[in-house]
Amino acid sequence: MNLIEQLNKHQYFYLAEIGEPEANQLRIVILEARISGETEDIDLGVAKISDVHPIVTDETCYAYEIIFESYIGYSVRNESYVGWDESEESTGKLFRVYSKSHFLDFIRASAMYASEDDPGKFTHFEVVCLEHVIDVASVDKPQINILRRA
């Protein structure tokens, strides 16, 4: 099983870090998350929800580093505002690779000098986390490293 397949076997991720270690290089660190066996109560002020199983990450969870040596563009969105569009085409669950997407359309329309000729055919990669969705347009596939094993 390759690392992209391994990423897609997990239930959840949390975004731990995102940044540019060098100019136009993107580094993303994600942590596997699981439903806890413990329960807790949530007080919403007007209502109380009992016996909720929180989604947690700890030292028994995997940690991954995803590095894009270069990118054309990237976006970080609040997961609460991301919807599903049937017109888009992708593979994967938590690490998606799109062949057709609104993000690809946006990059083609807004990145005046990005084309199939230069820098070359680019792809939309998406990392789906709890609370965040990261979209990256890049010519190159990312390098994925395991930082911590379960």
Query: Is residue 84 pLDDT above 90, yes or no?
Result: no
pLDDT value for 118 = 65
What is the per-residue pLDDT across 5-25, written as a single tens digit (0 to 9) for each? Answer: 999 999 999 999 999 999 999
Domain that holds residue 140: 3-148
What is the per-residue pLDDT across 88-106, written as a single tens digit (0 to 9) for each? Answer: 999 999 999 999 999 999 9
CA distances from 15 to 89, 101, 111 (A): 24, 22, 26
| Stretch 48-55: mean pLDDT | 92
Count of positions (residues) in the chain: 150
Q: Which helix (H) or strand (E) holds 30?
A: strand 26-35
Q: Tell me which long-range contacts 99-107 makes (C-beta under 8 A, separation of at least 24).
A: 99/123, 103/75, 103/135, 103/137, 104/137, 106/73, 107/72, 107/73, 107/137
Model confidence pTM above 0.85: yes
- Let me know how many helices (H) and strands (E) the chain has, helices first: 2, 12
State the total domains in the chain. 1
Query: Is residue 112 pLDDT above 80, yes or no?
Result: no
